[in-house]
Amino acid sequence: MGERRLLLQPGPHLHDTLSTREIMWWVSASIAPAFLFSLWVFGLQVLWLIISGIAGALAGEYLVNKGRGQHPTLKDGSAVLTGLLLVGTLSPGLPLWMPAIGSFAGIIFAKMLFGGLGFNVFNPALVGRAFLMACFPLSMTTTWIAPRTAGIPDAVTQATPLALVKLQGIEHAFTTLGVNASYYTKLFLGLRSGSIGEISVLLILLGAFVLVWKKIIKLTIPLSVIAGLLAVSFFSGIPLFHLLTGGLWFGAFYMATDYVTAPLMPRGQIIFGFCIGVLTGVIRIYGGYPEGICYAILILNTLTPALNHWFRPVRPTWEGAPS
């Protein structure tokens, strides 16, 4: 008889048709169109930033595996996805070494120190972004690039639409941007300055459709995030502008839906997503920072254990049965 082994591991113990590795690579593939579009809009430096982000994530996970004498976990695709998601939140004009530093820090501090995939409290990619924002605030806020015009990327820097509204006020910013009906079409398509993965709402929705079709995510959290932002931005007078700018869609579909850091039950997910949207709107409109979804998701990550506890499934009981 062959050797028998008893495997002890944390849940979940019910497995779907897709393995963890397949899910990670499907998510990575689903955001490829948005990244390819940014490559066309902003130029070849986007490719080097992507390589830098992935390399930093892989290096961080490999070093921890090696130091702990663990079986390598690089093949599950989670480190690659972390690098991609981080780069998706960054400016296309950043120095090429910076994504590697951010993804390395995110993997180390938000994933591997907690025990690896499935044990992290915070989204590693967003922790990496917050780390870069704290360490290199000037580069993170002044290296935006205008979208290509006449087939050539504009070399001059250009503030994001949200940043202009924050700096100049709505009236002057709208004059600078030339906001009209066609401008909102540009926002939807992605012909604007912004982070690498966030600029095209259309292509993010295309990737999200793939994830929903493969049953990797559900719409509960993303729709709740959008509803929360609309609830706050409705009183700003420019709700559609807030809906189509910033990292709302990228964060709602690719960050807030992270299996490990989001609540498990639908009612908890609704509260989780809605609070992310509300907090994003509050930071944008009333805070000193033009974008807020990164910090909104990280703050709500801390409430996930409580939401799982408050909305845990109620098991049926029978009168007289032992507890």
Q: Does domain 20-309 have CATH number 1.10.3430?
A: yes
Cis peptide before 12 (omega within 30 of 0): yes
Interatomic CA distance for residues 160 and 56, integer angstroms: 27
Interatomic CA distance for residues 218 and 47, integer angstroms: 30
Q: 217 — phi, psi (to 5°)? A: -130, 165
**Tens of pLDDT, residues 226-267:** 999 999 999 888 999 999 998 999 999 999 999 999 999 999
Whether the predicted pLDDT of 151 surpasses 50:
no
Q: Please report the pLDDT score of residue 214 as a whole number.
A: 94
Q: How many residues does the chain have?
A: 323
CA dihedral (130, 134, 139, 141) positive or negative:
positive
Whether the predicted pLDDT of 155 surpasses 60:
no
8-state DSSP, 264 = S
Average pLDDT (263-280) is 96
CA 218 to chain centre: 16
**Tens of pLDDT, residues 70-79:** 888 888 899 9
Whether the predicted pLDDT of 59 surpasses 70:
yes
Whether the predicted pLDDT of 6 surpasses 70:
no
pTM for the predicted model, two decimal places: 0.89
Average pLDDT (147-165) is 66
Q: Please report the pLDDT score of residue 152 as a whole number.
A: 45
The average confidence (pLDDT) of the chain is 88
Interatomic CA distance for residues 103 and 79, integer angstroms: 9
